[in-house]
Homo-oligomer: A and B are copies of this chain.
Amino acid sequence: MTANPAFSSERVKRAAAWFETLRDRLVVAFEAMEDDAPDDLYPGPPGRFVLTPWSRQEGGGGVMGLLRGRLFEKCGLHISQVHGIFTPEMAASMPGGTDDPRFVATGVSLIAHMNNPRVPAVHMNTRYLATSKGWFGGGADLTPLLDNQRSETAPDALAFHAALKRACDAHGAAWYAQFKAECDRYFYLPHRDEPRGVGGIFYDRHDSGDWEHDFAFTKAVGGAVLEVWPRIARARMIEPWTAAEREEQLIRRGRYVEFNLLYDRGTMFGLKTGGNIESILSSMPPTVKWP
């Protein structure tokens, strides 16, 4: 097994180390935003991440990170590195799973729900999975809460997409168009015939044949989010908001809940297979209305 490069502990270690580095950089960036958020709009002390390690009996573990602050109403930022043996059903659905049911998975995930309804929510998740094959997956997408920001031509959406396009274009000419389309397909609520947000990129089972290249791409995606979202959020966080906008935000968050519980493969898979509930459901918005 260790002779197989996909499963090699070196690749897994390098991917896991990057996800931890990205987590650390996001912690620094977000806590600085907590510090810099104007006191008149955000009374009280700046929030700090609480990092809680966990382990699972089958092997591996992670660190759950939660920031409940004054600008960040609730932000989940988690890393994990787990290994185990797929059930025959899972193995059959995974590349290389039928050769050997052992797997290792490592990743980082981020979801930020903000107190200010004018600051869009952001979601990012990148991961490396290895069986007898190895591949990257993940993506990032933006969810503005107010109707007047919920268009792909709104300024925040344009900035977010431009950053992801740069990350894609540097690694594969066709990737942005392809991964943007995947994102639009995935983050969509059929029962309301509406997108969850203004999109981003989404990719899975990504193996171009050049591991170093794919790893560099996944690093670029994380780097893009680290650069662009704080820029968007800092520009918005100084804007005061109205009670009507807060109400619109709380109602719009209901769609986020509907998506996560009705359609999100990760959430449903995690909940139905005995995953860590607190970590899985940390993606849920902190306050929601269905009036």
A257 within 8 A of B: yes
Given the interface pairs A261-B262, A287-B288, the reply to whether A272 lies near B190 with Cβ below 8 Å is: yes
The oligomer's copy count stands at: 2
- The CA-CA distance from A284 to B251 in the complex, in Å, is 12
A29 within 8 A of B: no
In the complex, per-residue mask of A256-291: 1 if CB is within 8 Å of any chain B CB, else 0:
011001100000100110100100010011111111
Look across to chain B and name the residue whose beta carbon is closest to the beta carbon of A285.
B290
How distant is A191 from chain B, measured CB to nearest CB, in Å?
Answer: 4
Which residues of B lie under 8 Å from residue A262 when comparing CB positions? 261, 268, 271
How distant is A278 from chain B, measured CB to nearest CB, in Å?
Answer: 10
Which residues of B lie under 8 Å from residue A286 when comparing CB positions? 289-291
Look across to chain B and name the residue whose beta carbon is closest to the beta carbon of A274.
B191
- The CA-CA distance from A281 to B254 in the complex, in Å, is 11
Look across to chain B and name the residue whose beta carbon is closest to the beta carbon of A254.
B284
- The CA-CA distance from A149 to B198 in the complex, in Å, is 43
Q: Are A289 and B290 in contact (CB under 8 A)?
A: no
Interface residues of A in 211-227 (CB under 8 A from B): none
Q: Pick the most buried of A250, A254, A284: most chain B CB atoms within 10 A of its CB.
A: A284
Interface residues of A in 190-205 (CB under 8 A from B): 190-192
Q: Contact residues of A with B, CB < 8 Å? A: 68, 74, 190-192, 250, 254, 257-258, 261-262, 268, 271-272, 274, 277, 281, 284-291
